[in-house]
Amino acid sequence: MRYRVLGKTGIEVSTHCLGTMMFGAVGNPDHEDSARIIHAALDAGINFVDTADMYSAGECEEIVGKALKGRRDDVVLATKVHFPLGEGRNRSGNSRRWILKAVEDSLRRLDTDWIDLYQVHRPDHTTDIEETLSVLSDLVRAGKIRMFGCSTFPAEDLVEAHHVAERRGLMRLRTEQPPYSILARGIERSVLPTAQRLGMGVLTWSPLASGFLSGTYREGRPVDLTTGRAKHTPHRFDPAVPGNAAKLAAVEQLVTLAEEVGCTLPELAVAFPLAHPAVTSVIIGPRTMDHLASLLKGADLLLDDGVLNRIDDIVAPGADLYQADGAWQPPSLTERAWRRRPAGERAVAD
């Protein structure tokens, strides 16, 4: 296992971060088995564990907390806040009110006195970024968290947060957690260069591109749209959809490349993000012990320039063959009012 410093924090983390989204009702409901997988990851040298309060509605944090008993001091523990938990108003987002409640709940579920990295899971354009940075700075001073970051923020939001922190004398976002894979390279355009300029650590998620780089989905093979991820988002897996056909065509070329390199497709996929100079760690999210073993098998794989050039030929730098984040889109796209002048102001001025 290799280690890198997380941005400018001085904290060394493993280049493979254990993602825990699949532990709990959503994936592996067996708490003891999930704990064994966590222990195996730690024994393999992983010292970076990422979870979120919304994973299996808090159950995942409870599993992680139990698994880290006796090993907490050796682990850089990250969790996230933003998505709704429970019914009612003001139970989501990036407001001071919600973050103060959510962090206490996460500390209780994780059974820990502190969180190393507390991340804002998505942007919230109903809350002033100064409000969010202010409460997160207060939590660092209170000793409840050691540092804070964000997940899936566009480059312009990273820049705004940095400047607001500077102007207001607040602590700043130390990390960004974006989706990044061979099939979703859009963050190479601005997010990764911006994070690098701002000295942020970057931990990337979905290196297997929602399973397309796992080797499960191949050109010419039928796809079962009634189970797994395909059941929940069939439009992302149906081979009849032109965009999915393009993904499958790229997968076939990548399978050939992996064979030439002497590795599996998943090993190639996990190694790819780590070749970018802005990336600190890649998040792997196993559901079973076999999944973990297969993902760690290529932990020492380094891609040379020749291999990276071949990948560029298959999927161009900065290109997205699919929309990597299905959970959030900027309001500039989702809200019609953000794209349209009021009807009375649309006429050309006299």
Q: List the catalytic residues.
A: 55
Q: Tell me how far the alpha carbon of residue 262 is from its chain's centroid.
A: 28
Could you give the 3-state DSSP secondary structure of residue 175?
A: strand
Those residues whose C-beta lies under 8 Å from the C-beta of residue 178, and which sit 6 or more positions away, are: 151, 152, 153, 187, 191, 192, 202, 204, 205
Q: Distance (Å, rounded) from C-alpha 201 to C-alpha 175?
A: 5
Burial of 260 (0-12, 13-18, 19+ CB in 10 A): exposed
Q: Are 232 and 203 in contact (CB under 8 A)?
A: no
Structure tokens at 208: 């297997």
Return the half-sphere exposure (C-beta side, CA atoms, 13 A cut-off) of residue 213: 29
Q: Distance (Å, rounded) from C-alpha 144 to C-alpha 341?
A: 44
Closest CA to 127 of 98, 101, 156: 98
Closest CA to 202 of 171, 238, 163, 175: 175
Phi, psi of 48 (to 5 degrees): -125, 120
Per DSSP bridges, beta strands 76-81 and 3-5 are: unpaired
Q: Are 131 and 95 in contact (CB under 8 A)?
A: yes
Residue labelled with tokens 């599996």 = 264
- Tell me, what amino acid is at 299? A
Return the number of other C-beta atoms located less than 10 Å from residue 328's C-beta: 16
Those residues whose C-beta lies under 8 Å from the C-beta of residue 268, and which sit 6 or more positions away, are: 182, 213, 254, 257, 258, 261, 298, 301, 303, 307
Q: Are 121 and 81 in contact (CB under 8 A)?
A: yes
Q: Distance (Å, rounded) from C-alpha 135 to C-alpha 107?
A: 16
